[in-house]
Structure 1
Amino acid sequence: MTGTHRPVIRTPDQRIRVFVSSTLRELAEERRAARAAIERMRLAPVMFELGARPHPPRALYRSYLAQSDVFVGIYADSYGWVAPGEEVSGLEDEYALAPPDMPKLIYVRASEHREPRLEDLIARIRSDDTAAYLPFGTAEELEELVSNDLATLLAERFDESRLHNGGGPEEIPPTPQSRIPVPQTSTIGRDREIAEVRSLFERGTKLVTLVGPGGIGKSRLAVEVAQGSADLFPDGRYFLPLEGVFEPGLLLPTVAYVLGIRDTGEAALEERISRALTGRRVLLVLDNFEQIVEAALLLVRLFDAAPSVSLLVTSRTVLRIRGERVFEVKALGVPEAVAHPSVERMHRSPAVALFVDRAQAVKPDFALTAENAPAVADICRRLEGLPLAIELAAAKVRLLTPHGIAQRLEESLPLLTAAARDLPDRHRTMRATIDWSVGLLPTEQRALLEDLGVFARQFTLEAVEALGTGRAWEGQAIDGIAGLIDASLVRQTEVGGRSVLSLLAVVREYALGRLKEHGESARMRAAHADYYSDLVAAVAPGLRGAGQSEAVVQLGLELPNLRAAVRHLVHIDRLDDAGDFAWRLLVYWWIAGFFGEVRVWMLELLGKDQPITPHTRAVAWFFALWSEMWQHPTEEVVAGLGECVRLFTESGDGDAAAMATAARATARLQLPLPDLDTAERELADAVHQLRDLGNPWAEAITEVSRGRLAWLRGLIDEAQACFDRATEVAESVGDHFTVSVAGNHQARLQLVRGDIDAAEAGCVRTLLVSVRLHFEEGVAYALEGLCAVAAARGDAERAGTLSAVAHAIRQRIGVFDAEAFTVHIPQLDGIRSAQPEAVAAGERRGAELTVPEAITLALPEHERSQLEPELARW
């Protein structure tokens, strides 16, 4: 086939829809075979088996064709029924109505009794170079042909979509969360290990697991390998900290989040990740994998889907999966036990070199001398070369001499080691070292450190102070944190202009263990959950109005603890509170693309053998069904959302019931045989209810759905009116998210109607609000709209540039070409045929631009200055 159909052929629910055209009764067995082949490929067959007449009415099959991506025609003897007032049969009309650029797979059964008009149609098909034409004999043969041809078609299309006009794959820019950390201190004694691990990747190893106990230096080694391997992984290296991830089901959502891949539930998250990584020579560093080792099989699936990806995993246990190469990280070399070691000889020991380096960081005038060298050597041997233990000990030279440190270790280690006999020797020593470090703290600081164990990777001083009520350190949070920072047990950094605190993973593990030993874990988990529940209650209302951008930024900084708070609530069986927590943040989950993880929480909640309110049950099922609605739409999903409507209504939450009604209508549209009339009535009812209830955010987003449905039906004026209303409502309350979504639909429809100036103004407006919200999907759509504007005005290079940047954003965040109403492609293809060199030059330029640079290029000059602060933080 040589048709011009866009390589990416996707639908709103991410399932390719295959329209099957044939006479019904004559080819019933063949239709069953075609359906089996399509479903075997996990695609959606569009057929008329239920309630079928000799041929469906024209309006119906025209609507179904409009929602389909591939046309399959099966012909035998009969030309089919010609309806009254029509000149051709539905069979021929379906072929004629299929868009010229839609891929067409045609199968003709051998026959000696074919009707003449069908012979004429088949002759016409043979001359169509956009159609693939194959004969078949039996239904079984047809099933195999359809399956093979669909597989080939999709492979060709997706390969084309992955390559940018013949070029190579683009880099996935790292998100702030995924950049390889820059060590704040020097790495000592690991040159050989760094070289050995790097050589494994040079020889083609795809998965290397760095194994060793806590504190041995696995994470630091992984960071150094990643930092020194840019030449091996030209498409990017990404660091994914997993210390706050405790459920295997959260691995993929965490990978997606750190890579900046949005999860709106509209496609399988594994598929989005695969698409973002396929064809890219990248390295993913998965740090602290041991607590979700059951998820290791997902890594095998990732290899299968994206074979060019390499993984560097740190874990205390071996993963035991196909392709794994285990690299044991050993302790640093310690000095030999000799009576009078020379200073020069001592310096050659990596463990001693590390001690000296870290000691000088806290006491610049510290030096290794003949007098203190034996004590330093003794410390390193007692700590068995464990890097973290040595660092903790070295931090004490501010208060103690090396001799004093060695003495205290000698006094405390035997007792502390005996208290933890169930742990490996080195881990027992690590525990003992932290115990010793903590033992030097005042009582209040010890208690504070233990309480900090309930926090996730990072937290604020304000959050710490909020948890202090009734604790031994109440009113002393500032001085206590300062003391813990001085003791190298707490770290202080700056994120997004805010001061944040963090614990090393092994220290947090220690702190939480002490809390459990003292029977205080549940109390502190509850206090943590209460603080973040109050925070969400205060911030979440801003998500639906003028404070939306600020709320999204604040919640993004707090996300690790929001996740921890939900886990705490579920863990301590406060299930109704967990449901309320999740529901308040519905808008945030949508904007941030975080539905996958919420679904895991809610399924865990439903699996608890505990009583919950009908409202909590409705919330949990709503989140659980959201992804199913897009990815696996069935009548059961529609019914499940109907049950959510009922439960919300019985709970007295009309607002939530109306939103569930809108979701049920959307689910109806995703069915292989969509119920357009019922969906239209439900969307209209939901809009009216939400307007009466005073929920402008949900009203506006539901108006967008009504506009999409109207556009799908060819009612352009009605669609425009819906988008206009959605934009008006959203702007009236400062809802940037819906302004972006509705505005992009509005602008694309204006492009279809030829109103280029209005479309440009609309795209600029939505680009501005999308940047303020850091809504990258909205940025991509706005850039695509401005690409179409440039193409319509004959600016081929600008069109190519904006298209390339938008495509790169889609690729990186895992958003397929899901928008059924994308309209920049025909304009871009048109100008490409007229000015191919200029478009190609623009695409090359776009491939080199960062997103902020592309946004600056796309905006009119007078609009650029107001976005400088936002772009500086992008």
Structure 2
Amino acid sequence: MTSPNCFPPLPIELSSFIGREAELAHLTADLASVRLLTLTGPGGSGKTRLARELARRRASEVPVLWVELADVSPGAGVLHRLAQAMGAGAEPTTTDALIDPLPAHTLVALDNCEHVVDAVAEVAHAILLRHPTARVLATSREPLAIPGERTCLVPPLALDGSGVPEAVRLFVDRARDVQPTFQLDATQRPAVDAICRTLDGIPLAIELAAARVRLMTPAQIQARLHSALDLLSHGGRTAVPRHRTLRATLDWSHALLDAECARLLHRLAVFHGGAGLEGVEAIGAGAALDTLEALSRLVDRSWVTVRESHGEARYHLLETVRMYALERLVVSAELDLAQRLHAEYMVGLVEQARPHFTGPMRSQWVERLTPELSNLRAALEWTRIGDPQLHLRLTASLWWFWFSSRHWDEARRWLEGALELPEAQAADRRRAELLFALGALDALQGRSSEARPWLREALTIAESSEELALASYVRVYLGMSFAQALDPEAERYLEPARDWLAAHGDLYLLRLAQILLGSAYANRGDMASALEVTAAGVATARRFGADRELGISLQALGILLFQVGDLEEARATLMESLVALERDPSIMFLARSLHFLALCAARDGDPHTAAQWLGAAGGGRASQGIAVVSIDAGASDPVVADLRRTLGATAFEAAVREGEARELGEVVAEAIAGARPGAPAPPLDPAEEVRPEPESPVPAGVSDPPDLRVRLLGSFEVEVAGVPVDPDRWPYARPRELLALLLLHREGRTRDQIAAALWPDSGPTQARNSVHVTLHHLRKALERPEWVELVDGRYRIADTLRVEVDTERIEAAAGCDDLDAGALRAAFELYRGDLLADGVSARWVEGWSDRVRRARREVGLRLAAAHEAAGDPGAAESVFRRLLAGDELDEELHRGLLRALALRGDRAGALQHAERLERLLAEEWDSGPEESTLALVQEIRAGRLGPRPVAGATG
């Protein structure tokens, strides 16, 4: 088959094309459906190579014109280069004259457009307008931003997957170019994997790293990647200058940034693992820049990537870009300032989260802080030297996050290090908090004797400073350290702590004091008191309303039941504990419940399962450095000894090892599934079921305002728990519009659906960023981030909220046939104007406005009929006049008004209005009234419709 190409051939490739098959298939389909496709991405991401491969595959079907713009100057340079690419005879006189000769179906590929994007956009637009069958393929750091453009962010090469990932294949291929004998064996593979991962799968960076195989092993290259900008240099002499080193590539793109974007980019380098929008705003503080606008430009120009995490946008720099930006930050003398702003933001975030770690919202806040782990570590490192007082604040507050997650060993290192600082030696609250945290950690890990010195010193400081809440917390964990060791001293600390916590309504720690007292009473043989106080702890946990606290309390009760020999109740209680803990996992407590369920299985005659579960529980404890405490060992040692005899030592050890080798979560899931195949969770005690939900402190049945009341009609107004939200909290119209969209679609909207409604003309990258920015501001305005949730890929208003929206009430009234006049009037009065009439004119609103107007019209007609039936035509007249103010051409409403006027006795007024209606219809529609209107007017004129006699009146 003869090639249709009448232009110079595409550039010849001297190296193989690796991977990208999925992208090529997707882009080929895109080119079949759109006429302008722009490949975007950071420098070195492979845009040009991918575009060339795509063009090469199309060249057998259509003419392909390849136009390289990397070295073109702004101005007329784009036309000159287009003329050169077209070959002899092409003259760059005007754009139209130059592109007129293009053959039908030509694919014009415009490569490296970012520095001349405005001129390229004009040329591309002209091509598409003058040649209906032409298509344009562009590569650029940012979109061309013209109608009909589809952008595709070129992703890094794959780092994972079956077989050898794309990024590793590229490294090996390029390494063999410089060292033909290079082999990817088991010794080389880990270092190559690490190189590709550190370089984020960016093809240019990987190729430059592979070129170093001539001088170094992969392990040596990996060790030097901390200075990647210097290491990744000396590309081929024939490469364009900006691709010979990674630094040159970044310099090229950096030169295109304005001062605001460059300054924000440099400051973003202090973030590790990305940042949320609030973090970006925090490090932009005092920089005299519009942070959001600069961030949007950096996203558009592919310096910053946007990734979604739990419904929030996070903004990332590729690691090589971060290194480059950090160098620029040092040169700008803003490194220390940016690190301080970063650390202060992280401290503020942790202190905002801290109260929630002992409340029902703990899991949401753990989820919120988990993506910030790298940032928290960076802030801890900097503050330890740069601001030790800030370091102490951060370390003390982080304890609750560390406790709620799996980072116990890391917590110990930071807490011990903080206590060594000179600033931590004063006997004040800060030292007491650090001592408490370290002592509590030791107690939780079963290190009772190590815990007590820390906790005793913390208690002395708390009592002398009259920090009564902290003192009660310390007493509880001191009590834990003694209860674990079967020491009756536990009661001396736990009983006063329990009483103080109960008096002050601290349910979080009260239930822990109660279940620890249960252990203490059991240690001295008072099992009746132990069961009673532990059951009270379970009831407290149910009122508190968090799964983990409930699971721990049930666990304590289940262990006591096992100890008194009530095996059936013990198994059921421990299984309920496991179910609750699986919903909010903690390795320590999951392992403990599974351990005692294993003892139940042993007593039930299932020794192999028992041994496996013991192994899995032991493996979980070992991963957290947790020892079996004395109280548990005393209950389990005899059972384990019996189990070993039953199975035989060899089979027992093999089954335990089998359990240790498995993931604890997997074994827990199997245990739960085996215990209750398809069965519902165990029911609550009836006496404990009637209680308010955790988020609702007001008992059921008490009349109170809804959680969220929104008026969308006319002026936009929001109330949270009956308190109006200050209008200044809505910085611009988009968050209000998004709230309206979610309230009108209670089933939720996907990110793409939100973008299509609110930003119909934006490119996908810009729209995605806009969605996340607006979600952030909406949550911030409501001051309840959890009220806008992400469920199955849809953002929605949490369905647990009590929400009242004026539009819903009007539509509900319109659909209910048995409302009295009072209820109809209340719904009718809710209409204060069109939907979002005070600032939103989006297309999506129009359909909803029509829908609400129709509902209001229906309510109004029924209200007017009710007024007439009650003998009050004047009130009906008022309703019709208000309805007509919104639609003066609705002839049915005019008939209603005519009827009301006549019934009120104003026949002259009715006839005058009939004349006005006739003139209006003639002017607007060039027609006359309907037959039914003419018949009504005739009836009024003849005097057959007038005031009705009042019942009981005499003449």
Q: How does the TM-score come out when normalised to structure 2?
A: 0.45
**Whose Rg is larger?**
2
Q: How does the TM-score come out when normalised to structure 1?
A: 0.48
Which of the pair has the greater relative contact order for Cα pairs under 8 Å at 6+ separation?
1
